[in-house]
A and B are shown apart, each in its own frame.
Chain A
Amino acid sequence: MSNLTALSLELITALAALLFLIADAMLPKEKRGYLGYGCIAFLGLLMFGALTMGGPETLSAFGGRIVLDPLALFFKQLSIAIVFLVALLSVDVMKKLPDGHGEFYPILLFILTGMMLLAGATEFVTIFIAIELISIPSYVLAGYHKHVFKSSEAGMKYFILGAFSSALLLYGMSLVYGATGSTQLSEISTALQKLPLESPVSSGFGALLFVGLVLMMAGFGFKIAAVPFHLWAPDVYEGAPSPVTAFLSVGPKAAGIAVIIRVFLLFLEPIQHHWAHLFVILAALSMVLGNLLAIPQRNLKRMLAYSGIAQIGYVLVGLVAATNLESPGGTAQLGISSAMFYMAAYVATNLAAFSVVVVFSCLLGKEEISDLKGLSRLYPGISFCMLIALLSLAGVPPLAGFMGKFYLFSAAWSAGFHWLVGLGVLCSVISLYYYFMVIRTMYFEESPIELKLSLTWPQKLALGVTTLSILFIGIYPSCISTVTLEAARLFLP
C-alpha cells in the first residue's frame, strides 16, 4: 500500500473537481452561479491545509514515482495560490457568459491537480500525465469564449503548438529511456554514471541521451514560453479571456520551472556540463528578446506576454546560477532558492497587473494601453495597484520584484556569470521604459470619457491580496526566502 499522504492534496483536489462537475450537471441553471463561490471557498480551505503541511522529511508514494519534499510542497502552495487568485478574478467574468460557465471551475481544479502532481513527480510517465493534465484543460480555457473569434483562434493556436511541444517532449523522453533503460529519474541518475559519456558521438547511447535531453528541453521550453519557444505566447495571451490569460501567464510557468528544477538540476546534475550551456542561451535570449519586443506593443495583454517571456528569462538565470559551469560547487542552493523566490514574487506581481487588466476588460471590454488614459484621477485605488505591479515587474525597490532580482543576480554573480548579470541589469533598465509608458498613460494623460466602474468583492480581494503581498515580500523578504532556502537544501552536496 502506497503512502497516500504524499498525494493527499492532489486526491482532494481531483475529488472536488469531480464533485463540481456533478454539481454543474445536476444543479438548475440559475443556481450554477454559486459554483464559483464554492470553488473559491474550497481553494481557500485547501490553501490553509497546504500551509499547515510540511516538515523537512520526504514522503514518497508508488515506489518513489511521486514524492512530497519541501521543494514539491513550495510549488504546490504556489499553485494553489495561483488558482485561488484566478478563481477570484474569474467569478464575475464567467457570470456574464450566456451559457456553460459552470464548467470553468472543474477545469480549473483539474489543472490545479496537474500542477501539484507535476511538482512532486519523479518519473517520466507521471511527469507526462501531469503536464497533459495542465495542458489539455488549458487549451479549452484559452478557447473558452466560444462566441468570440479571437478566443477560438487562441485556443486553436495554443492547441497545435502545445500538442507539438508535448510530442517533442515525449520523443525526448523515449530516447532518454532508451539510453538509460528506465523512466524513473533516480534510476536514470544512477545509470548515467555507467554510460561512456565523454565521447557522446562515438557511443550510440550517449548520442541518444543528448538528443533526448535537447528535445525534452525544447518541450519544457514551450511550456514556460522561453525564447526561442515563445511564439505562441503573445497570440494566445491576447485572444484568451482575461482571467485565463492571467492564469496562463503564471501557472504553466511555475509548474514548468518546478519540473525543470527537479529533472535537470536534481537528477541530471551529474551530466550538467552537457546541458547547462543551453540554459544559459535560453536565459539570455529570453531576457533580451522579451524586453525588446515588449516595447512596440499597443495591447496591454500582449505587452504583458512579452514581459512574462522576459521574466522567465530572469528565473532561468537563477537556474543557471545553480550549475557549476563557471565556479565549481557551492552555489546550487543559492541559485535554486533565488529562482523559487523570484517565481513567487513574479506570481504575486503579474497577478496584480492582470487583476487590473481583468477588472478593466470585464467592465469596459477594452484592453489597449491607450484606454488606460487618466485612470489615476477616476480610480486612484486601481491605478495604485497597477503602479505597484508595474514598478515591481521593472524591479524598483523596495518591492517584491526588486528583492527577487537582487537575490537572482547576486546568486548568478557568485556563481561566476558576470556577463549574464550585466545583461540582466541592462534588460531591466530597458524594461523600465515600457513599464513607465503605461504608468505615464495612467497618471499624466487626460481621460477622454467618464468611466463608471464598480468592483465586486472577489475582484477587490484579488487586487488587495496581490498588491499587499508585493509590498510585504519586498519589505520583509525573509518570509519567503527562509522557505525557499529550506527547500533548496536538497541541492546541498
Chain B
Amino acid sequence: MTDFLLYKLSHVGLDHVLLMGALLFSIGLYGVLTRRNAIAVLMAVELLFNAVNINLVAFSRYITPSLMTGQIFALFIIAVAAAEAAVGIALILCLYRHRRSVYVDEADELQW
C-alpha cells in the first residue's frame, strides 16, 4: 500500500497537472458566473488566471523542458493580474461610494 502510494506520488504526469488546472478554471468560472459580491467575483477571476499559470508551468516543464517560455509567460500573467486586481478594487470602491454595497446585481441602472 505504501509502495503504491509512493509510486503514485512520485509519478505526477502532465495530465494530472492539466486536470488540476482545468478544475481550478471551472471553480473560477462557477464563481464568476454565480457570485453576487463584486469582491468574490474578483477573487474568482484571479482563480481563472492562476489556472492558466498552472497550465503554462506544466507545459513548460513537460513539453519544452529546455526552454522557460511557459514560466516567463506565467510571470507576466502574475504581474498583469495584479494590475488588473488593483484597477478592479478601485472600481469596486467607486461603486461602493455610490450605493454602500458591493453586490453586482444592485448595480442595475443600465438596462434598456
Contacts of B77 in A (CB 8 A): 128, 170
The docked-state distance in angstroms from the alpha carbon of A239 to that of B45 is 23
Instruction: Assess whether A384 is interfacial by the CB under 8 Å rule.
Output: no
For A125-158 the 0/1 string (1 means CB < 8 A from B) is 1001100100010011001001001101111110
Whether A124 lies near B73 (C-beta < 8 A) is yes
Instruction: Assess whether A269 is interfacial by the CB under 8 Å rule.
Output: no
Contact among B18, B45, B70 for A167, CB-based, below 8 A: B45
> With A177-B69, A178-B63 in contact, is A170–B49 under 8 Å at CB?
yes
> With A128-B76, A156-B92, A177-B73 in contact, is A167–B49 under 8 Å at CB?
yes
Whether B107 lies near A177 (C-beta < 8 A) is no
Contact among A128, A146, A164, A170 for B94, CB-based, below 8 A: A146
Whether B63 lies near A152 (C-beta < 8 A) is no
Instruction: Assess whether A413 is interfacial by the CB under 8 Å rule.
Output: no
A164-197: which have CB < 8 Å to B? 164, 166-167, 170-171, 173-175, 177-178, 181-183
A269-297: which have CB < 8 Å to B? none
Chain B CB within 10 Å, residue with most, of A129, A166, A173: A166
Residue of B nearest to A161 (CB): B32
Residue of A nearest to B47 (CB): A167
Instruction: Assess whether B20 is interfacial by the CB under 8 Å rule.
Output: no
| Min CB gap A458→B, angstroms | 28
> With A159-B88, A163-B88 in contact, is A178–B59 under 8 Å at CB?
yes
Contacts of A437 in B (CB 8 A): none
The docked-state distance in angstroms from the alpha carbon of A357 to that of B69 is 46
The docked-state distance in angstroms from the alpha carbon of A239 to that of B107 is 12
> With A182-B69, A238-B110 in contact, is A143–B91 under 8 Å at CB?
yes
The docked-state distance in angstroms from the alpha carbon of A349 to that of B97 is 37
> With A129-B80, A149-B99, A153-B107 in contact, is A139–B49 under 8 Å at CB?
no
> With A136-B83, A178-B59 in contact, is A160–B99 under 8 Å at CB?
no
Instruction: Assess whether A371 is interfacial by the CB under 8 Å rule.
Output: no
Residue of B nearest to A153 (CB): B107
Whether A171 lies near B91 (C-beta < 8 A) is no
A92-148: which have CB < 8 Å to B? 124-125, 128-129, 132, 136, 139-140, 143, 146
Whether A136 lies near B87 (C-beta < 8 A) is yes
> With A136-B83, A164-B48, A181-B63 in contact, is A174–B91 under 8 Å at CB?
no
Instruction: Assess whether A486 is interfacial by the CB under 8 Å rule.
Output: no
Contacts of A163 in B (CB 8 A): 45, 84, 88
Contacts of B56 in A (CB 8 A): 174, 177
Contact among B59, B84, B109 for A174, CB-based, below 8 A: B59
Whether A183 lies near B55 (C-beta < 8 A) is no
Q: List 20 A-B contacts (CB under 8 A).
A: A125-B76, A128-B76, A132-B83, A136-B84, A146-B94, A149-B109, A150-B109, A152-B94, A154-B110, A159-B87, A160-B45, A160-B104, A164-B45, A167-B48, A171-B51, A174-B52, A174-B56, A177-B70, A181-B59, A238-B110
- Which residues of B line the A interface, CB within 8 A? 18, 25, 28, 32, 38, 41, 45, 48-49, 51-52, 55-56, 58-59, 63-64, 69-70, 72-73, 76-77, 80, 83-84, 87-88, 90-92, 94-95, 97-99, 104, 107, 109-111
5 nearest A-B residue pairs (beta carbon) = A167-B48, A178-B59, A174-B55, A235-B110, A153-B107
Known: A178-B55, A234-B110. 12 other contacts (CB 8 A): A125-B76, A128-B73, A128-B76, A128-B77, A136-B84, A149-B99, A156-B104, A167-B25, A177-B69, A178-B58, A178-B63, A239-B109
